Amino acid sequence: MQGENNPIEKDLYKLGEDYIEARVIETLSDLLLSLTLWKEGYTRNSAGKAFSAVKALLNELILTNEEKLVNLAKDDREKE
């Protein structure tokens, strides 16, 4: 990985459980808000909010499981 040789970059990827939990809660509340907007007829706002929430949730899942994903890589090129 790129950040392995640079200690400053490496520390950027260390996230505490509290941070991840807060982001997941924020994402779920955004999804609920999206549903509320949808029911009120604000479909464009709802779609944007839902997209942002799902994107944030996927980001947290990837960061949480980064090592597992890297270990699935078949060669060094895929690991980068």
What is the chain's pLDDT, residue by residue, as a tens digit (80 residues)?
444 555 544 554 566 778 788 888 889 999 999 999 999 999 988 999 999 899 888 888 888 888 888 888 777 776 66
What pLDDT is attached to residue 14? 60
Q: Which residues contact 30 (CB under 8 A, 6 or more apart)?
A: 49, 50, 52, 53, 56
What are the Cα distances from residue 38, in Å, to 15, 24, 26, 49, 80? 33, 21, 18, 10, 39
What pLDDT is attached to residue 1? 46
Contact yes or no for 1/79 (Cβ under 8 A): yes
